[in-house]
Structure 1
């Protein structure tokens, strides 16, 4: 695989050729095998131009000659036409969700289809334990990547791009701010350098941003939707999409929710998973010997999973916790939707499947605080896969932009 040549001077035949190559490759990237005639109709280029560019892109490793029309069952008479196919295995990408408690890495082809995945614990002692030192966290991420490559039966040489998602703000250089929050530096200990050893293109981005990118890729809303994706496990963070485009800022601070410390009824940027555990712990301490399902665990042992499972069984104590979580989520939605006039808010992350009822209750409570009858509050269907899928989407986009250096956004 090689990049298409950079455009020459404006007005030159080389520039025109390059722009046409971009048009053909961009068309083929998400397309099934096609004949020159089909590409002519799709691109508006002449047959001679299409055939020449397909030959060039085949030599560069982006396309391959597929079966001809007779083999594909579409031949009627005359000489069968060649069919060209996009090489989805021209190179591979890796998306990493480097979370607080675990690291998940997935290897994907250029259509974003995962072919290998691995998970390793990154804070195995639990939420209250000290965080991994920076060298250990870097090693955990690299070990997880190697395990995913082994599952995919690939080597480092088969990879072109690595994208790492972290629970911290990330600036345009891939670094997280220092001095404001020590947690950020521990989550992103210069991870942008991890791809250099193997010659990979590498990017680091905020996990909520990438979860929002995955929702865009899923296409569950209107093309020009404005929405927020809230990662809501241990800590809160938001990825923001306005009019169908993910918002970024060079310092990386968009979507940081530390200001929730100042919001009445929220007073914290801790996530809904953290609050479920904390509220249940306090409730159990005040109701010793509770007879419901939640009473089967001690205050010290209770987890958010216990709370949601007990609520499904009708445990009154657990249902009270669910109601408090819903009120907290409603107030968070007031802050985001009241400021940005959003169409919808999605709660995402591994905890999302358990938050369907919380989201529904939050929507009901919202009317107490804000007039926004159009606002949808929902649990994301992507769940624990959201961040990883967003990282893969960004990695594929980066390869595409490098292959087509004159394309919009390159």
Structure 2
């Protein structure tokens, strides 16, 4: 996880009111994010500003502590004639980025520098059966604090923090009420929980998977795509025209509507339906009792996908059904949003290559629009936290200078 490109733009909630900053400082700050070390002449060429304006802006940024001036080229031993060039770089240690994947049963926190280089990773197994909101807040706060301890850093050094949750999230970082209270539990006012962070953002986990895929994954360079989280539950992060879509209540990409789509029938993810269908087949005696599937001590989606990949005929029959469901999901999403690409993301992606291959062959041809390209992510189970760090970096790039100067 390093050197993310800018994340798809959205409208994340941020803390505090902006301070006034000069256009020249803003231009120099933006340029510093795009390169490693650079000279004043490099900044002049990139921004179109005069030398005196550039030098003044860079010196002011050095004064804030967000940039550092490096030894000049002569002192560094790489320049011999004429006036030595002044060299600068973004101070990657000026502030921290914190990304959090706040799943129901697993929490991952990554602390990184401003260049998104990880400094520490902390993982917590949470009680997925608990409905105690106060306990979830304590667990999440403790996980972030422990990650900072592992990095040898403190809350005061955090410049931007982003948390991904399995719930829709609006532009203010709030989740709507859920009929069974699940969204309220997953996002128990996390904007206030982390109000000590200079900049903070709470977002849907599938939306952050889309950020990750656009910044460092299969959708890099794409402007119209969907990241499909499809492990236990379906969720979609939708990027169109380079913008991450949210909706009035943060519900773009919520998949409960698939309960009413014939051939899909639920918002269960690929792993969950594979496990369910395998268990039903074993119980109904439709599986060879001596087969690896029947003898598995526990049937979950990972087991079914792994056995199918190994050639087990019973597991392959199950995954063939799963591939048809995936084809329908991709077709419906393609018809509604018209993306050029759908990326199957998350932990389930590690075992769905054959499922995706079969789904590509099963994509309906009667939906008029061209079917989106279907690919499998390479970012693995950490796709949400990768996206959270990328979103925190984007937030820092856009807003940290004005907060720092306030």
Q: TM-score, with normalisation over the residues of structure 2?
A: 0.89
Please state whether the residue corresponding to 1:265 is helix, strand or coil: coil
Residues 118-267 of structure 1 aligned to structure 2 (within 5 Å): 118-123=122-127, 130-196=129-195, 198-218=196-216, 220-221=218-219, 223-267=221-265
1:395 Cα shift? 1.3
Contact 1:105 1:148 in 2 (8 A): yes
1:370 Cα shift? 4.2
The structure-2 alpha-carbon separation of the partners of 1:132 and 1:250, relative to structure 1 and needing over 3 Å to count, comes to same
Please state whether the residue corresponding to 2:352 is helix, strand or coil: helix
1:315 Cα shift? 1.0
1:51 and 2:55 correspond: yes
1:405 Cα shift? 5.0
Number of aligned residues: 386
CA distance in 2, matches of 1:149, 1:369: 52
Q: Which has the higher contact order (CA 8 A, sep 6+)?
A: 2
Name the structure 2 match of 1:386.
383
Contact 1:193 1:202 in 2 (8 A): no
CA deviations 1:357-388 (Å, max 9, x no partner) are: 11111111114664666521111111212111
Name the structure 2 match of 1:111.
115
CA distance in 2, matches of 1:34, 1:43: 13
Residue 352 (structure 2) aligned to one of 330, 352, 355: 355
Contact 2:67 2:91 in 1 (8 A): yes
The structure-2 alpha-carbon separation of the partners of 1:318 and 1:371, relative to structure 1 and needing over 3 Å to count, comes to farther
Contact 1:210 1:390 in 2 (8 A): yes
Contact 1:227 1:344 in 2 (8 A): yes
1:225 Cα shift? 3.3
1:322 and 2:319 correspond: yes
Please state whether the residue corresponding to 1:351 is helix, strand or coil: helix
CA distance in 2, matches of 1:41, 1:373: 42
Contact 2:40 2:54 in 1 (8 A): yes
Please state whether the residue corresponding to 2:347 is helix, strand or coil: coil
Taking only aligned residues, the RMSD between alpha carbons, in angstroms, comes to 2.1
Contact 2:199 2:400 in 1 (8 A): no
Residue 92 (structure 2) aligned to one of 88, 93, 101: 88
Runs of 4+ in 1 over 3 A off after TM superposition: 71-74, 219-225, 367-374, 403-406
Name the structure 2 match of 1:281.
279
The structure-2 alpha-carbon separation of the partners of 1:351 and 1:367, relative to structure 1 and needing over 3 Å to count, comes to same
Contact 1:97 1:166 in 2 (8 A): yes
CA distance in 2, matches of 1:110, 1:384: 23
The structure-2 alpha-carbon separation of the partners of 1:308 and 1:337, relative to structure 1 and needing over 3 Å to count, comes to same
CA distance in 1, matches of 2:288, 2:314: 12
Name the structure 2 match of 1:20.
24
Alignment gaps of 5+ in structure 1: 8-14, 125-129
Name the structure 1 match of 2:397.
400
Greater mean alpha carbon deviation, residues 313-322 or residues 66-75: 66-75
